[in-house]
Structure 1
Amino acid sequence: MLSVSQAVRQRHSVRAFLPRPVGRADIEAILEIASRAPSGGNLQPWHVDVLAGNALEELRRRVRDRLSQGLDQTEFHVYPPELDETHAARRRAGGEALYAAIGVGREDKPARWSQFLRNYELFGAPVGLFFSIDRGFDRPQWAHLGMFIQTIMLLAEERGLGTCAQESWAAAHATVSEFLELPPDRILYCGLALGYPDREHPINRFRTEREPLSGFARFRGMG
């Protein structure tokens, strides 16, 4: 069994999956354990809808139809409108590494758009998880939702599964929220692709860079 450290180091965003199904018992076990994730005041502010089979295919169909008319206006900023150069450079580098892995050049806009639209197919994953949160909650509860999602991803690694957390679903929130019958006081945050990774696919072989410890941590009073 993987250690926590191994699961953290091994986890990456999987963007190509095998057609192999994932058992409901595995998903239920992952979610039950993940519910132990911390939340201030034990609010447990997360909601998750799990789709597979015909239900997932129907959502994909509806989203494809909607996207033929363009993306939704997101209800929150996935990235800050005025992203500073340090963070913008990291985003560009990750994107370029992704497209280089599948041989798509910067000038090939149609191929890049086609790959982007794969988000809304969950990259072929057999299971999609969709996370929502009450609109009345503020940034602390959104942070706790994120910890819940991260816990799910690490537990998936433990079982040999791969994941890809996708904020891109915020640009299809109207269709997804309608399909999931989310109440008006609930906002869709993201989707999560879940399944067995296609480890031979080149898009799953690249890894994004991480800043060294000295770039983000400061130590005081520790010698």
Structure 2
Amino acid sequence: MTFDEVVQQRRSIRGYQKKPVPRALIREVLALAIRAPTSLNTQPWNFYVVTGEVLDRIRQGNVERNLAGVPDSREFRMGPGYEGVHRERQIGIAKQLFSAMGIERENKEKRNEWVLRGFRQFDAPVSIVVTYDRSIQGSDIAPFDCGGVVNAIVNAAWSRGLGCVINSQGIMQSPVVRAEAGIPDDQVIQTCIAMGWPDESFPANAVVSHRKSVDEAATFVGFED
């Protein structure tokens, strides 16, 4: 695939085949992704690649604690709830997904099941937990750089037939993730990426999110044309 094809065709994948992903292929994806730009070459990121019974225990602990009302313990700052156009876009993609999945607004059972899928990292066979070094916590640069490498991971995966979704719901209960994945205290858990072979029969996988146009997003200054 060309670079343009990867960027234009990539979608967030929320339904996966029950098929393992070879370790060698994940290493290949990561080897490409870590060429992502990073401030002053600091490369603050670390990856905990989890599968099998360990991932199942993370899923179970995340679901059980969330259903029990244990407060969200994500280690990155979520900030205030979205408002205005940002909230509109958030609602917009939810409507697209629920429409694709046939989830009616009044169907609380189906809506709750969708939330639980997020807690379970959409039942993907692989989760990549992205962390950065606690020694540089407090700077915006480290999470900014992690965002860059996460973007590179999902694109590199797509170019090799793998699908991903960036999924902070899967790490809402960070003590479970830290304990099961063996993440030391000198690391801050930033986010996780669910990864696997896309299930083409899963309706939500066909959803393409609406994006701002260049005219909406960009202001050109100093150009003569």
Which TM class, normalised by the smaller chain length? over 0.9
Note the residue ranges of structure 1 that are not aligned, 5 or more in a row.
none
Report % sequence identity: 29
Instruction: Look up the equivalent residue of 1:153 and give its one-letter code.
Output: V
Partner of 2:108: 109
Partner of 1:179: 180
CA contact (8 A) 2:130 2:191 kept: yes
Give the alignment's TM-score, normalised by structure 1: 0.92
CA contact (8 A) 2:60 2:120 kept: no
1:131-210 alignment, distance < 5 Å? 131-135=130-134, 136-137=136-137, 138-210=139-211
CA contact (8 A) 1:71 1:171 kept: no
Q: Distance in 1 between matches of 2:11 and 2:202?
A: 14
Partner of 2:53: 54
1:17-166 alignment, distance < 5 Å? 17-73=16-72, 74-78=74-78, 80-135=79-134, 136-137=136-137, 138-166=139-167
CA contact (8 A) 2:16 2:198 kept: yes
Q: Distance in 1 between matches of 2:191 and 2:91?
A: 21
Tell me the secondary structure at the aligned position of residue 193 of structure 1: strand
Tell me the secondary structure at the aligned position of residue 64 of structure 1: helix
CA contact (8 A) 1:165 1:193 kept: yes
Range moving further from structure 2, 65-74 or 212-221: 65-74
1:26 Cα deviation from its structure 2 partner = 0.3
Task: Output the aligned Cα RMSD.
Answer: 1.6
Instruction: Look up the equivalent residue of 2:13 and give its one-letter code.
Output: V
1:102 Cα deviation from its structure 2 partner = 0.7
Q: Distance in 2 between matches of 1:143 and 1:173?
A: 20
Pair 1:20–1:169, CA change in 2 (3 A): closer
